Structure 1
């Protein structure tokens, strides 16, 4: 059974993540977590790699919702390059705010098959951004010790909405995020962690 659950916003804001200094003017919208049984402090990159390897098995309902979203975006111009992070686009990329110690070869590069751009990766946190006509957003993953010695994966969603249109859009999709997308996402995390050795072996990225 999935151990995914929503958490209070303070579970993100109260920890010393590096994203705070980069996206201080963004609102923390949601925080979601999945406890990974038997995990240790060094398993964050394993978890991230397993999730990436499992993406082709993404739940059908999530794939459908995102397909509808991207189709609407294409029809209505929500995702046009000038609305996003491209040169001369609507927003200034957060990559430009990165301090020198967080600038990495992946910073500012696109994530394969996803509308996100990498910001940085550390041993216990990773951040990526996207922008379109509705929001400038950040997905922040972190690796947190639990009271029983295991670790859990957390994802915080940070946004800066684009005026009243962006606020209305985020309010409209809130039920889908909370009732469908996040629960399905954490079930995928559960499968990725459970099957991590097989998934990483198949993808050629087995980690020890």
Structure 2
């Protein structure tokens, strides 16, 4: 379920101090009910790259098109990424977070920035923007816990602003609904839920 930006900005996340120059693009409640110590399991699921089969054909096709376009237009070249075009957010971390980067992403251009017991952040950069996927682990009204995802973005000039505006309808109509379903199926499969298949 999509949430207002205040669902992210009102919480005392560490990311606020690390990326104050990034704008909150989207906030989503993740379909990942669990207990107080389940964030590491969600982080492993998100970073593993093993759950691509959980996502629809349309979702996978959209990302295949995006990566092909990026290759043709040079958006994703090594000199456009982290530590080339932009410094990593890891360079901004306070000392207590430097030793806790979280897992490496498998087969994805994201990099983990940090992991605590309640939040995790990964970053990506290309010719269009520098982005952050922030996953927080929050308590709900029933006493359980679930994940909350915020996407933070720093567009790269006019091209980045145009790119973000151009993908907006695709994000809301196709990408996020498919992403939420895939995350839920992956989460249920880890829990041994027979409905997950």
TM-score (norm 1): 0.85
**1:11-57 deviations in whole A, cap 9, x for unaligned?**
001101111110001000000112434x2111111233344342343
CA RMSD of superposed structures (Å): 1.8
**Residue in 1 that maps onto 2:148:** 154
- 1:6 is aligned, of 2, 6, 28, to 2
Q: Unaligned stretches of 5+ in structure 1?
A: 200-208
After the TM superposition, which residues 161-172 of structure 1 pair with which residues of structure 2 at under 5 Å, given as runs? Answer: 161-172=155-166
**Residue in 1 that maps onto 2:122:** 128
State how many pairs are aligned. 191
**Residue in 1 that maps onto 2:177:** 183
**Residue in 2 that maps onto 1:104:** 99
**1:73-105 deviations in whole A, cap 9, x for unaligned?**
11110011111113xx22121111011100126
Q: Unaligned stretches of 5+ in structure 2?
A: none
Q: For the Cα contact (< 8 Å) 1:35–1:151, is it kept in 2?
A: no
> Is 2:48 aligned against 1:54?
no
Match of 2:79, SS state, is: helix
Alpha-carbon separation, structure 1, partners of 2:100 and 2:141 = 35
Alpha-carbon separation, structure 2, partners of 1:36 and 1:85 = 30
Match of 1:15, SS state, is: coil
Runs of 4+ in 1 over 4 A off after TM superposition: none
**Residue in 2 that maps onto 1:92:** 87
TM-score (norm 2): 0.90
